[in-house]
Structure 1
Amino acid sequence: MSAPTKRMHREILVFVIVLLVCALIIRAAQKPEPKPNAEPTPATSAVPTMQHTPVDADIQMALILDTSSSMDGLIRQAREQILEIVADLQQSETGEPKTIALALYRYGTDRVSSQDGYTQCLVPLTTDYQSVVAALDQLQAGGQKEFAPFAISKAVSELAWNSSPAVPKVIVIVGNESFSDGPVGTQAAFSEAEQKKIKVLPIYCVGEQASKSALSGWKRAAYLAGTDLETIDPNQAVAALEKPATAMTPVQMPNKPLPQQTGLPKRPYPERPHYEMVGSAKPRADLSTSMRRGMKSVLESY
């Protein structure tokens, strides 16, 4: 190949390389630059995120219900009595109804993940009581893990509580299993509530198979809260957990001679008491009655 031909080939190769470089530069210039500090699109959560906005009210109350498998009776009572409970709280000495901001939580449900402690806010603090009624109508029992302290901690941290110490703020938690289960300790949950001047009212559900160890945990919770432990029977059975269901009243039987028998001497019927079953237990309070008693005690502390 002659020298002029080689020189021409080199010039063509250089020209092609220049064209390729120019094409790459033009393509890069046409590509849109990423926005600075662009936030990644958040993943969609299975549990909808609620907007917890402040609500002006005379009393703020969060009702946390155990909705595990054995709590059908409690859910039914809450449905039937929630408006009665609100009406009781609205009463005032001046005759002017108080404004009640009410929130509703469920815990112990298998419809919420373990990462959320099987606990969910159904309605944030609101004065729209029909929204609470609608949420209660949709509730179904189901679940086995009840993390009561976690539920309290969740309500303390995510609700829009009034910062004024003059506004009563109460968390009412109702359940029947151990009060020490879950990732949050009982003492820690109550300390978090105390920091925001929130009172906690524990209400223990007494069923036919009430656990003494669970009762002990709820008593400790009431002690930490500085209240008496309120109890209800979600199924309205006549029962008393720590007292005999009936009292045994001795009734003296009259002396009677034994029937005439050959070869046996006559002697009086032995004096021995006959025990007659006399009912002494009273029906256990329902949710409305227990909350009325408990809230009265709590509100008097403000």
Structure 2
Amino acid sequence: MKTFFTWSMLCLLVTISCNANNKPNSDLAFQKEKNHLIQTTKTDPNTRNIQVALLLDTSNSMDGLIDQAKAQLWEIVNELSYAKCGHNKIKLEIALYEYGNDGLPSQEGFIRQVLPFSDDLDEISKELFALTTNGGNEYCGKVINTSINQLGWKKNNDHLKLIFIAGNEPFTQGPVDYKDAATDALEKDITINTIFCGNYRQGIETMWKHGADITTGEYSAIDHNRETVHIATPYDDIILKLNHKLNGTYIYYGRQGAQKRQLQAEQDSNARSYSSANAVSRTVSKSSGFYKNKSWDLIDAAEDEAFEVEKVAKDELPKELKGKSKAELKQYIAEKSKTRKEIQQKIKELNKKRVLYIKENSKKDDTNLEAALLNAIKKQGRKKSFSWEE
């Protein structure tokens, strides 16, 4: 029973739906309010989902892996934002689990669902940065089985449904046989990708490759202790200044609006804690179609035809908007929306130059978490008619 930590990164895993587990009554009331303001939309036949469940082992030896996940999150999101699938709209959902930590309930197999499938990128970042490590038992088959049963996986096989599990202990441990869990995933068209933190041959010998092979997933071995290198570019300072202007276009509303606005600022700070270049990557993500905040931002909410701004309680608006009429509010929202789009377009144009500069001034690295995730996602996405282009 060695102390390690295998994580499930990007973890991904989670759409605030299904198991928005154990929420207090106040949160349930908030959800009802959201449903009243913004009608719950049925599955759009013209939408293709990329569902990523990240299973992270948070035992002691995995601190480096968690650091990579935090440092590389936004570049991964940015690369995925270039996804195309015919004329369909692409939606990214990430769920996150941790396992292999003595601080987790033993009766649950030392497993915790950190987030169900979610498209709330700020919430995903928050939970990722909150992860800590501790010694424990790493049960790969159990956490895979749990994620399959708990999460709201799409039933239609046109969607890209992926599990990523990372760790460094034998894949065979625990009460659930990994072969049974993988067979269940295969039947549900969910692909398991395994990331062994250590020697490539050792990962094969401890069945990490076989765990992926059953669902024709990808097996990778990475150096989880390698520090992420962020390349600074001549465009970074300009993009960060635009981020400040971009933040000024968000208009919170609702009972949790101010809190979510603060969360946005906190995740900007978390990104900066790794480097200015990482903060730039997050800013680029905020200019993509994946960064939407309809539950608390009036600009994003107004894109939904079912949204009625007049139904938002005046005392749940920012101070400067409480005295405005319905017509004045709509005009204000329209102006802010126009400004946001202009800023986001400038960021995108600068980012094209930034990406080119990074390519010309860095060496390709296939031994980190970002490379393992993106290589697998793109390869498996092509099988379902997804393509990637900037």
**TM-score (ref. length: structure 1):** 0.63
Q: Which residue of 2 aligns with 1:146?
A: 138
1:62 and 2:71 are equivalent in the alignment:
no
Which residue type is aligned with residue 210 of structure 2?
R
1:91 and 2:82 are equivalent in the alignment:
yes
1:227 Cα deviation after fit:
3.0
Q: Which residue of 1 aligns with 2:274?
A: none
Number of equivalenced pairs: 208
Q: Which residue of 2 aligns with 1:123?
A: 115
Q: Please tell me whether the aligned partners of residues 170 and 201 of structure 1 are also in contact (alpha carbons under 8 angstroms).
A: yes
* 1:234 aligns with one of 224, 233, 241: 224
Q: Please tell me whether the aligned partners of residues 179 and 214 of structure 1 are also in contact (alpha carbons under 8 angstroms).
A: no
Q: Which residue of 2 aligns with 1:222?
A: 212
1:117 Cα deviation after fit:
0.9
Distance in 2, matches of 1:191 and 1:234, equals 28
Q: Which residue of 2 aligns with 1:72?
A: 63
Query: Higher relative contact order by CA 8 Å / sep ≥ 6: 1 or 2?
Result: 2
Which residue type is aligned with residue 176 of structure 1?
N
Q: Which residue of 2 aligns with 1:163?
A: 155
Q: Which residue of 1 aligns with 2:278?
A: none
Q: Please tell me whether the aligned partners of residues 171 and 200 of structure 1 are also in contact (alpha carbons under 8 angstroms).
A: yes
Task: Map Cα deviations across residues 123-155 of structure 1 (whole Å, 9 max, x no partner).
Answer: 110100111110111111112210011111000
Give % identity: 31
1:187 Cα deviation after fit:
1.0
Of residues 228-237 and 144-153 in structure 1, the stretch that sits farther from structure 2 once superposed is 228-237
Unaligned runs of at least 5 residues, structure 1: 1-47, 238-281
Task: Map Cα deviations across residues 189-222 of structure 1 (whole Å, 9 max, x no partner).
Answer: 0122122211111111116xx8837743112112
Unaligned runs of at least 5 residues, structure 2: 1-20, 29-39, 228-363, 385-390
Greater per-residue helix proportion:
2
SS of 1:141 mapped into structure 2:
coil
Distance in 2, matches of 1:64 and 1:130, equals 19
C-alpha spacing 1:160/1:286, structure 2 compared with 1 (3 Å): same
Distance in 2, matches of 1:170 and 1:55, equals 22
**TM-score (ref. length: structure 2):** 0.49
C-alpha spacing 1:300/1:213, structure 2 compared with 1 (3 Å): closer
Distance in 1, matches of 2:183 and 2:377, equals 20
